Amino acid sequence: MKKTLPLANVPFPKFASDEAAAEYLAAHSVAEAWDQLPVAKPAKLARTLTSSIQERHSAKKSPISIRLGPEQIAAAKRIASAKSVGYQTQLRMWIAEGIRRDGKRL
């Protein structure tokens, strides 16, 4: 039987430390209060970090064209969905795995 946590107070009490906040949230449920919580502003990344991430993404991947049968695409999508990743990401992982495996044989 799953233990039911008491509801958290909204707004939350002020915490002296992250550890105190973690203890409180581990012992209280915010499920019913979720919609009452304030919306946080998205984190603003440093410009250098943003450009570094964009450079790595664009520099590391080149688009290619590959023809796959509909059943292969459907299977890749099904497997990727079960792993909570995109199917193209799953295909890239399989290709990288094959390259590593065959590279060791040579």
Q: What is the pLDDT of residues 34-43, one digit of tens each?
A: 777 778 888 8
Range of the domain at 5: 1-37
Q: What is the pLDDT of residues 65-75, one digit of tens each?
A: 999 999 999 99
- C-alpha distance from residue 83 to each of 77, 79, 88, 90 (Å): 10, 6, 12, 9
| Residue 46, domain member (yes or no) | no
| Residue 26, domain member (yes or no) | yes
| Residue 44, domain member (yes or no) | no
Dmax (CA) for the chain in angstroms is: 62
Q: What is the pLDDT of residues 49-61, one digit of tens each?
A: 888 888 877 767 7
Token look-up 């105190």 returns 20
Please count the structural domains in the chain.
Answer: 2
| Residue 33, domain member (yes or no) | yes
| Residue 83, domain member (yes or no) | yes
| Residue 54, domain member (yes or no) | no
Secondary structure class of 5 (helix, strand, coil): coil
The answer to which of 23-27, 31-35, 94-98 has the lowest mean pLDDT is 31-35
